Structure 1
């Protein structure tokens, strides 16, 4: 019935821009579009989305009409023009270069285009342009239009109904005052004047008798061929199916009797546009018998539910007696039949009428048409009577204990029978007829002789269900789930997704899904989900929660009733809610899978339409808003999302419909989101949006590559220079060693070897003459011994020279300055060292050879010249080193300059050293005029860079 359907209302309090709803449409993606007196919104079942930030300003005013196009878009008629919404964009439709014109009436063509009438012209849309069409010659001002399934255009002008095909008028039908015409999906055409409804019968229009409301403004034929009429005044809504006529008004919960528009969505729900809000009529999956209060005298609060073997459903109320549902009708039993007023605590089979347990009064059975109290039942608060497989009646009395009635004998059971001694909280019989008793610590099972402990819960047990292959135990703090016959089970609480810890009842349906009644909800957990949780495969569950939109008048039941839900023999499930029994077929109808939609992208409070987006450089806060079109229980739609390039895996967003990212590095990202409906159905096709974050120039790849190359070049250059400097140092050390070897070779060759050769020759002469001329031989031996002593002295000097040679850590000037101490043996001569120019590093070979030349010259000045003054002048010229050594001693003759002293190699050695480094050595001296030695040599930078390597090799060859 129309009044039994779920009616939900949305107003400005829920986000509607204005309560006066003017038009409704649903696009192919499932979104509902609502036009109001104050703007356009899109509805996803949870939120209304406006377009003030990403739409034209006309959408914030009066919306005349909304029409779905032939694709995924929408036609929007405003107070001053026409827009086509497609792919997230609103395209204005121009007429003669104008965007502003007032459309008087319109009709949707079969291909999704529009027929428009304004300014006494008929236009048709095509490719977002307006194309002129012809009007019948005698048509007056058009009041309504519609296109039928055969392609005919029907036009009403308050005097006639015109039928056009193409540009020709096919027929004209006289219908005075008819201003409304409507073609339904079945090919029928309807016309009306607001008080009378007419139906086209093939040759003309015939008045429909008793169509519904006496006043109406719109007509709709639904998918079940039912006629809907909206009054637009004081009569609300009517629906006619065959000869059955139903109405819905404010008295039935309608927001307003002034209904303007009706829309049937793709789920079969009906949306009503009224002047007081948006409403939906929904056929819920639950059938709720809230009308029971009329039978039970306004005391329909159900306390327990029971099915008799004959299929009758019994509902116990609070002080309203019991009700029986049979053959489609409710029948009441109360004081007139002998039942005392009280809380009905349960039922048991007892012939054609069940026995009934009523709170303080006991258990009643019907005899001779009246209910009387069963004998032997002790006084007290009777709870939860059950019958076990052997026919025994088991019940408990609060504060007394457990009782068993069998074969007319009443037995009280206690600790002697295996009970724990703690108060019992429930009695249940499983599918095999075995009795289970719940207490404060778990479950005990009756084995036919006594009770034995079966399962520990550490919580009072309220209810038990036995789905195939497992057990579910409801407690005060969740459900103990066990899959299989072994193991202790696993607790499921609110922390793991259960909708409330206090579990009042549990049922398993034919598919072994669990239906759970908690203190705040009725929910379902699928077999796959609860077994996976029991086995430890998942850490939480996502149950389906059923609400008033599913047909429930209330999702609440009274706590601790213990018989609040049953599974009937036909598989349906009955629940005793506080607003009457509710029944559901657990084989739920297929629900369209949820499809996610990326709604918008907000960058630093700047709103953008969903789609590919490029964002400039900087640190941004990026928010992705997403949703899913209206479905059943949209508030339970869940979402998974990920941002590829940032998130490594899918993120469970729950029911949240937006996510923000802050400080993303530059790059290209793709946002993906998937929606899941309450039943877990999903299209699995993610909605996507591409976004590119542009970098600053220093964050670009070319800049990073260039910087990397620069750094690498710098490292290479530093390494090269360091290696070169180290190689130069090693080369200098090697050249020092080579120069030292060459000098030693020359000195040994020029002094020691020559002396040894001379001594050898002299010894040979002495050997020839020792016999013939002994005296002469004796003199020659004396001379030879003297010569050998000189050789020893020169060898010692050479060794001394080895120890006094320059080393790397001293410059040439420093070693020359220190040489004074080597030769000085008295106060004279006076020594003076002068250095001009900028001192610089000299090649080690040059330095050592210059030092040796200077040392030899200084040795002559200090030891042989008897000089009073000796000076050394070192001149560092740009590419030349000049050293001048002068003394005021006795000087040397020309012969001495040319041949040297007999047995001495000083002058010849100085020339040899000068030749090795390519130097010029000039010695100036006259007897009594002193001596002046001038040495000039090219420096390292200009000469030794080219010749140093060759010279070293020459020295090595000499040394070898």
Structure 2
């Protein structure tokens, strides 16, 4: 797994030249934009004011010694950051020049490599050890020996003397910049090639021959026996088993100039680059089988175990097989079928494969693909499930009913047999009954008659996606939105969010001897069999372990998008591995490698900030200056694997007694603190666990003014009593006036209450408006479109409006990513705002402008306001082309759009009035055509006058050419678009 951070994430600059961690657990890095500290989620940049006048922007090296102190190397010396603060290293001299590196020496002193040789630092002072006239680029201590990399040679330094290490050839022109040791061997990186110290000599090993002309930019030997080699062109890895290989990533792919490599205590590798920022490499438990493993079509619908005991998968265009190395090989192309998506994949015991699509089912006999006449009733239906009872009897679940194939007969089961719901999603035989999961509940059948199972719970009307028998006579039932139900001898039990599940969506269920594995579009989690048994016996809550999450407010697990839902072949447990289909390849999970959720390594208060900018570092206790009553407390938890899942709770004892609710915020503000003694308590939890890690409490003293002390209050009380008698008479005389004033106050409060209620109503109206508005551009969003079209459709069906149509103009800004890459996201956002103003003008008083997402926009205009849709589309395209978009006051940005046009309803007979998504899909297909045929224009896929909504039920996106070839639609495009 690889995580990546760059400038948008808070990194001061993308060039990360060195990395280290301190005694607290923070990660430090030097960049060409300054020194930064990282807690797993936030970068803190340090300036001169933070470091006693030291200029961190010129730090080239950061390194930690064995005591946990940090050393900083600069072009003019070195500095030490220890528990006492930051101070310069004494004894290096004014002309020492660049400090290139550090190392621990035998005996515990620190070695410093500079432009003027090697120094040793001990007891607060640095002393030169040798090579006074040489630049020392790298240092390494091996046993009792000290090695230094310099110009022309590697030296062994001892007793103030330096002896060059012999080499098998003349290396005088080389610069030796990096040293590393592994398994008793020393490796040397140079300005031209990699060398190994063997039998007392520097030699270039045969495996390093491809690096003979390469400049070695970073070198690290990890605990697993790998040698990592940073180059100008990327990263390579060497080990004895696999040899030398590239280790490039999606972030560090093309000329990713590697600058630094660091291994943390957990064994994770941190890679710094001159060009692409910071990344962390760690061993996860899930991998994706995609294009890099030969799967050219990564849209995976289904997965199943084939007759050859290998993993087979179905994609949007065919059926593939994984070989022994998990390389994908295409076996069957389904592009000749009416619908090519392999929605469900089934292997009967009689051989071959049954390929269920979204428009029927085909049979593969090992060499050819055909559609048997027996299956003609399935034509046009989505195949969701196939269950074999015996070699001659099969149940088939479809989008329009349950079918039985038995001994050459083919029959549909419906309401006459007790199945009142047409759409079937899952099938299983359990306790001699056929259980049928439908889109509206669970049915059980015996001898061809079915009964709706009613439990009085959400299961009665749930979309049942998965059915799994488990040991002990249990049937686990997964639903799309209503959680999990478990049937046992006592009846049906409900497992949902209230019982501890992370989400209620289920795509597939798998089980091994220890766990129930649950996949969904939001990820994968597992629930131990022991927990299930305890829940069925005692109730209460369960504690699932997160395995995968797709990243949206998810806690714990490996971040990897997964999984597809909708049919039975949406998961496979085979030979100790789990397989799940996704939109971006086949996901493989290794259960043995799954790690339990990790807690933060450390929780702490970082600093306390008062009004006016005064601040103090977090400590066990502190006293605020007199008069300061408003403070902000910033805190953190060091968690590098899954920092987004960390949740904090806190309380200020003396101010509040209860813990404040869990939050991911990392600061809290207190105002108007009364004088007294307080204790700030903080704890955090990570992953999906319920256990908290506590921070050391911080005691805070708020001193009182003299007027707030007890003796002052007693004196004031005596004076008040003495004055009370004199005031009584005045109060009696003024009682009438007081009553009048009281009445005025009542009137005033009544009026204020009325105004407050009015403001509340206005605020509620503003909040409702905001929920329908895009936050960046101010245009309407998809939520408003759905509500508007639902209201319009209802009024149209009730005859409250005339029969005019609405015209959809869906457009995408051409080459907008290039604008973002060249000018930055802030300029890109500003151009989106300028474009939105143009859209509002084009929509006019009767139309609406929407931000559909990213750089996609939508105009929705009534037919009466459009006039000619062709001319309107041309007007929009030309208006964008001619508009004056500005990156700044000087630079103009030329823009164009690709547009898809469609009316709603799109069909001549208005048969699609209940499905506005059909019009959007037609517009999107037309837009895509323009995108792939030169951009800067518009197109329309015009349904034929005889076309009906049902003709397009299988979708438009994958079958445009079939639709046009069948006479159901034709293109109508702008005049300047190519044919």
After TM superposition, the score normalised by the length of structure 1 is 0.64
Deviations 1:258-298 (A, max 9, x none): 21112223333322221222223343321110127845xx3
Distance in 2 (alpha carbons) for counterparts of 1:358 and 1:64: 60
Are 1:238 and 2:236 counterparts? yes
CA distance in 2, matches of 1:368, 1:656: 58
Deviations 1:648-692 (A, max 9, x none): 344442332222222333333333333333252867343443322
Per-residue CA deviations over 1:21-49 (Å, capped at 9, x if unaligned) read: 21111335443212101111112232211
8 Å contact from structure 1 (residues 389, 433) kept in 2: no
Instruction: Provide the C-alpha distance between the structure 1 equivalents of 2:683 and 2:237, rounded to a whole number of angstroms.
Output: 38
Q: How far apart, CA to CA, are the structure 1 residues paired with 2:670 and 2:547?
A: 30
Question: Is 1:426 aligned to 2:425, yes or no?
Answer: yes
Deviation at 1:66? 0.9
| Match of residue 259 from structure 1 | 258
State the aligned residue count: 698
RMSD: 4.1
Cα gap change, 1:94/1:196 in structure 2, threshold over 3 Å: closer, same or farther? closer
SS of 1:635's partner is: helix
Question: Which residue in the other structure is 2:157 paired with?
Answer: 164
Q: How does 1:907-946 map to 2 (within 5 A)?
A: none
Q: What is the rounded CA distance, in whole Å, between the counterparts of 1:185 and 1:715 in structure 2?
A: 85
Deviates more, 1:337-346 or 1:390-399: 337-346
**Distance in 1 between residues matched to 2:88 and 2:239, nearest whole Å:** 41
Q: What are the residue-to-residue correspondences of 1:404-553 with 2, within 5 Å?
A: 404-419=404-419, 421-429=420-428, 434-448=433-447, 450-454=449-453, 455=455, 456-465=459-468, 473-482=477-486, 486=490, 489-490=493-494, 492=496, 503-508=506-511, 510-518=513-521, 520-523=522-525, 537=540, 545-547=548-550
Match of 1:394 in 2: 395
Q: Structure 1 473/597 Cα, relative in aligned 2: closer, same or farther at 3 Å?
A: farther
Task: Judge conservation of contact 1:506–1:517 (CA < 8 Å) in 2.
Answer: no
Asked if 1 retains the 8 angstrom alpha-carbon contact of 2:507 and 2:570, the reply is no
Residue of structure 1 equivalent to 2:298: 300
* Map of 1:677 onto structure 2: 686
| Alpha-carbon distance between aligned partners in 2 of 1:199 and 1:680, rounded to the nearest angstrom | 47
Equivalent in the alignment of 2:4: 9
Secondary structure of 1:594's counterpart equals: coil
1:786-805 correspondence to structure 2 within 5 Å: none
- Change in 2 beyond 3 A, CA 1:109/1:345: same
Q: Which residue of 2 aligns with 1:764?
A: none
CA distance in 2, matches of 1:112, 1:680: 41
Work out the CA distance in 1 between the residues paired with 2:315 and 2:632. 52
For 1:654 and 1:551, how far apart are their aligned partners in 2? 19
Counterparts in 2 of 1:642 and 1:294: CA distance versus 1, 3 Å: same
Report the equivalent of 1:109: 104
CA contact (8 A) 2:77 2:92 kept: no
Measure the CA separation in 1 of the matches of 2:176 and 2:390.
Answer: 75
Tell me the residue number matched to 2:385.
Answer: 385
- 1:4-27 deviation digits (Å, cap 9, x = unpaired): xx4443221111111122111133
**1:272 aligned partner:** 271
Query: Which residue is equivalent to 1:49?
Result: 44
Aligned partners of 2:340 and 2:357 also within 8 Å: yes
Is 2:194 aligned against 1:197?
yes
Q: Do the aligned partners of residues 33 and 119 (structure 1) sit closer, same or farther apart at CA in structure 2, a change above 3 Å counting?
A: closer
User: Residues of 2 paired with 1:222 and 1:394: CA distance?
Assistant: 55
Aligned partners of 1:551 and 1:370: how far apart in 2? 42
Q: Tell me if 1:594 matches 2:600.
A: yes
Sort the Cα spacing of 1:698 and 1:262 in 2 relative to 1 into closer, same or farther, 3 A. Answer: same
Q: CA deviation at 1:362?
A: 4.2
Judging changes above 3 Å, is the alpha-carbon distance between structure 1 residues 132 and 583 closer, same or farther for their aligned structure 2 residues? same
Q: Is the 8 A contact 2:156 2:164 kept in 1?
A: yes
Could you say what secondary structure the match of 1:376 adopts?
helix
Aligned with residue 125 of structure 1, among 116, 121, 131: 121
Match of 1:640 in 2: 649
- Which is bigger in relative contact order (C-alpha 8 A, separation at least 6)? 1
Closer/same/farther in 2, CA of residues 710 and 279 from structure 1, 3 Å limit = closer
Quote how far apart the aligned CAs of 1:92 are: 0.7
Give the secondary structure class of the aligned counterpart of 1:654. coil
Q: For the residues of structure 1 that align with 2:44 and 2:294, how far apart are their CA atoms?
A: 42
Deviation at 1:303, TM superposition (A): 0.9
User: What is the TM-score when the length of structure 2 is the normalising length?
Assistant: 0.63
CA shift for structure 1 position 393 = 1.7
Residue 347, structure 1, aligned to residue 345, structure 2? yes
Q: Secondary structure at the match of 1:457?
A: helix
| Superposed CA offset, 1:317-342 (max 9, x none) | 11233434556443322249997761
Contact 1:467 1:512 in 2 (8 A): no
C-alpha displacement at 1:578, in angstroms?
Answer: 0.9
Offset, 1:705: 6.2
Residues 9, 279 of structure 1: 8 Å contact kept = yes
CA distance change for structure 1 residues 434 and 693 in 2, over 3 Å: closer, same or farther?
farther
Partner residue, 1:155: 148
- CA deviation map 1:581-604 (0-9, x unaligned): 001023413565422232222223
Residues 307 and 541 of structure 1, relative CA distance in 2, 3 Å threshold: closer
**What is the match of residue 607 of structure 1?**
615
Mark the CA change 1:58 to 1:44 in structure 2 (over 3 Å): closer, same or farther: same
Q: Please say which of residues 463-472 and 568-577 is displaced more in the overlay.
A: 463-472
- How far the C-alpha of 1:512 sits from its partner, in A, is 3.2
Assess, with a 3 A threshold, how the Cα gap between structure 1 residues 434 and 389 changes in structure 2: closer, same or farther.
Answer: farther
What residue ranges of structure 1 are gaps of 5+ in the alignment?
1-5, 719-960
Shift of residue 155, structure 1, vs aligned partner: 2.0
2:206 counterpart SS class: coil
Counterpart secondary structure, 1:58: coil
Deviation string for 1:55-111 (max 9, x for gaps)? 334354121101112133322223444333334x63213425989974433321057
CA drift at 1:194? 1.6
Alignment partner, residue 704 of structure 1: 710
Cα deviation, 1:468-510, whole Å, max 9, x if unaligned, reads 78765444433144586546644736x9987766543344554
* Distance 1:302-1:119 versus aligned 2 partners, 3 A rule: closer
Shift in Å, 1:114 = 2.5
Q: Is 1:478–1:500's contact at 8 Å kept on the other side of the alignment?
A: no
Q: Distance in 1 between matches of 2:535 and 2:706?
A: 52
My pick for the range that moved more, 593-602 or 52-61, is 52-61
Say if 1:385 and 1:393, in contact at 8 Å, map to a contact too.
no
Contact 2:304 2:572 (C-alpha < 8 Å) held by counterparts = no
Q: Which of residues 542, 562, 582 in structure 2 aligns to 1:577? A: 582
Counterpart contact for 2:177–2:190, Cα < 8 Å? yes
User: What is the CA–CA distance in structure 1 between the aligned matches of 2:274 and 2:217, rounded to whole Å?
Assistant: 13
1:32 and 1:630 in contact (8 A); partners too? no
Task: Tell me the distance in 2 between the aligned counterparts of 1:300 and 1:108.
Answer: 47
Native 8 Å contact 1:598 1:610 kept in 2? yes
Separation in 1, partners of 2:33, 2:95:
18
What is the alpha-carbon distance in structure 2 between the residues aligned to residue 592 and residue 72 of structure 1? Answer: 24
> Does the 8 Å CA contact 2:403/2:411 hold for their aligned counterparts?
yes
How far 1:417 sits from its partner (Å)?
2.8
CA distance in 2, matches of 1:684, 1:155: 43
Q: Matched residues in 2 for 1:618 and 1:471: separation?
A: 67
Q: Give yes or no for contact 1:624–1:660 (8 Å, CA) kept in 2.
A: yes
| 1:336–1:621 CA distance, 2 compared to 1 (3 A) | closer
Structure 1 pair 287–600 and aligned structure 2 pair: CA distance change class (3 A) = same
Distance 2:30 2:535 in 1: 46
Q: Following TM superposition, by how much is the alpha carbon of 1:713 offset from its aligned partner in structure 2, in angstroms?
A: 13
Structure 1 CA distance, aligned partners of 2:468 and 2:249?
43
The whole-number CA distance in structure 2 between the counterparts of 1:218 and 1:114 is 21
